[in-house]
Structure 1
């Protein structure tokens, strides 16, 4: 790959259901590694497919990652009337012995929906383990309230997505479950000791560290780095994410525009790169903010390029699926629970 075609280590959003001329020129010039879609970008299936084609067209890369947050429940960017409404993660555990099987099936069905419109990365499964008194930003988005259940159901969801030709993103590493505020609005500070974090919060991420992509937590862990959130902390990324947890996949930030982070956007992006993040993520599609992030953007090279290539190499054609039978099986599991 020539320097002129090397992707930049950034994932960006766009403003609507079709690219503007300004966005097209900006993305073509910047060459982001990938893109992320939100509800504002979702029209009809044909419109979404046209948008994903246009985004990849600005880069000239047919396998360029296009992400979405499609968890089910409160966090589902694609839904009725064009796509099914999926249950929240917290509804699987009560299914008992068949919970993992149904969670895998639901993820396989989601992957079908996504791949049909050109989306090849889902920001799921969420591996956070909530505790009593934590903010409801996690709540029923969690697969359970023990590491064991989160591991079992998170693994099932990841397998279902990959079976459908979509890459999973484990989030929010090294754990958002203890946060007592919503990081979209403020900076959570977790004061648990290192042993407690290792015994509970880190465990699902250790167990699924073989997966290709992860998203960081905008959370301060006072036992690890009392001054910086994990996203911006070299110590957390080096010692915990890459060290104790053992994750060697591509590491992206959570959204840089969340209010947990402060300061100019160029400084946020630069701090994340210096901490050891591979790719920064900016979601809201605001051109002024994207241009500021772009000012700090670095080439995706070295270890980051290796991890990005390894992640995309795990994209595979979907396995066989009887769609009607699978949807009926999935829906019946909840009707009879």
Structure 2
């Protein structure tokens, strides 16, 4: 573990090329992330995750995916069911809190049934962002609700369902993306709400789930805290808000370094992410030239970042003994009743 670099990489396609395997063996990323381009069949994905881990000689290395349900679901039918969105679960909770909590836990447990046998052990879920009027639809229906209390309780249920199935969650997008008026894939949003407003709403779900092992940062500028830098690269936001006020002491990973909310070349972006206080940077698209630039400035995990990475590895547990067929039937019944 002490040899791992503080980066999570994607790969280009459904199979690992010899050049990619050699690159990963040389650069030793801490983990990997999969996207739709990497998915053809269940057996193929299992072979890919095995190849990724073999390339770095770590059979337990984290392999991540964004499998939320709704419009962000990398595995799609017919390989897995189309799952409801966070907003669908929130609507059920508003009508019947007990049913909504149960359905949210079950859906995460079903994600784990889908993913764990394929060698995927981290799901970038739950979305803890609280949408506000004027916020961009990039969050929208991915959110569980429009109040921090609903987002907090359903986010907690989602985390517990994943962990029951042998996966770890990633709470995102810390310290909150719900007010952002732009899609960070394309541009950098500025949020002008006061820190006290943010503390009373946006930060609340992250405080509630601050004990989770991993979090993903928001590429959002909070002008009342740091008008010059997005949270991902802001030492003030990371130290004062994420580590301080929110109290998150887990592994902090950046959102994708290739998103256009960030500026500069890829070495500049990655350097800023580490200077801001993130433990690990994330590069998703598998582009070799970009990865070369990122890894040129990426340190090996050490100090507090290594401690947090080791805590992640220690947090993985074996799946519980839940009955998959029974849970699928129960889930269908809960969602049909909604």
- Shorter-chain TM band: over 0.9
* Displacement of 1:21: 1.2
CA-based RMSD: 0.7
What pairs with 1:158-307 in structure 2 (closer than 5 Å)? 158-307=159-308
Partner of 1:66: 63
Check conservation: 2:254, 2:282, Cα contact below 8 A: yes
CA distance in 2 between counterparts of 1:63 and 1:250 reads 17
CA distance in 2 between counterparts of 1:291 and 1:247 reads 30
Partner of 1:83: 80
CA distance in 2 between counterparts of 1:336 and 1:149 reads 20
User: Per-residue displacement from partner, 1:164-185 (whole Å, max 9, x unpaired)?
Assistant: 0000000000000000110001
Runs of 4+ aligned residues of structure 1 deviating over 2 Å after TM superposition are: none
* Displacement of 1:276: 0.7
User: Per-residue displacement from partner, 1:69-122 (whole Å, max 9, x unpaired)?
Assistant: 000000000111111111100001222221011100000010111101000000
**Are 1:314 and 2:302 an aligned pair?**
no
* Displacement of 1:240: 0.4
User: Per-residue displacement from partner, 1:192-236 (whole Å, max 9, x unpaired)?
Assistant: 001000000001000100000000000000001000000000000
Partner of 2:6: 9
Aligned match for 2:30, one of 22, 33, 50: 33
* Displacement of 1:311: 1.1
Check conservation: 2:130, 2:145, Cα contact below 8 A: yes
What pairs with 1:53-132 in structure 2 (closer than 5 Å)? 53-95=50-92, 96-97=96-97, 98-132=99-133
Give the total of aligned pairs: 334
Per the alignment, in what secondary structure is the counterpart of residue 295 of structure 2?
helix
CA distance in 1 between counterparts of 2:198 and 2:303 reads 31
Per the alignment, in what secondary structure is the counterpart of residue 296 of structure 1?
coil
CA distance in 1 between counterparts of 2:89 and 2:106 reads 11
* Displacement of 1:331: 1.1
CA distance in 2 between counterparts of 1:203 and 1:171 reads 13
* Displacement of 1:321: 1.4
Per the alignment, in what secondary structure is the counterpart of residue 132 of structure 1?
coil
User: Per-residue displacement from partner, 1:39-79 (whole Å, max 9, x unpaired)?
Assistant: 00011110000000000001111110000000000000011
For structure 2, which runs of at least 5 residues remain unmatched after alignment?
A: none
CA distance in 1 between counterparts of 2:208 and 2:128 reads 10
Per the alignment, in what secondary structure is the counterpart of residue 292 of structure 2?
helix
User: Per-residue displacement from partner, 1:280-334 (whole Å, max 9, x unpaired)?
Assistant: 0000111110110010110111111110111111111100111111101111111
CA distance in 2 between counterparts of 1:185 and 1:332 reads 39
CA distance in 2 between counterparts of 1:220 and 1:133 reads 16
User: Per-residue displacement from partner, 1:16-50 (whole Å, max 9, x unpaired)?
Assistant: 00011110100000000000000000111100000
CA distance in 1 between counterparts of 2:237 and 2:176 reads 11
CA distance in 2 between counterparts of 1:288 and 1:126 reads 31
For structure 1, which runs of at least 5 residues remain unmatched after alignment?
A: none
**Are 1:22 and 2:23 an aligned pair?**
no
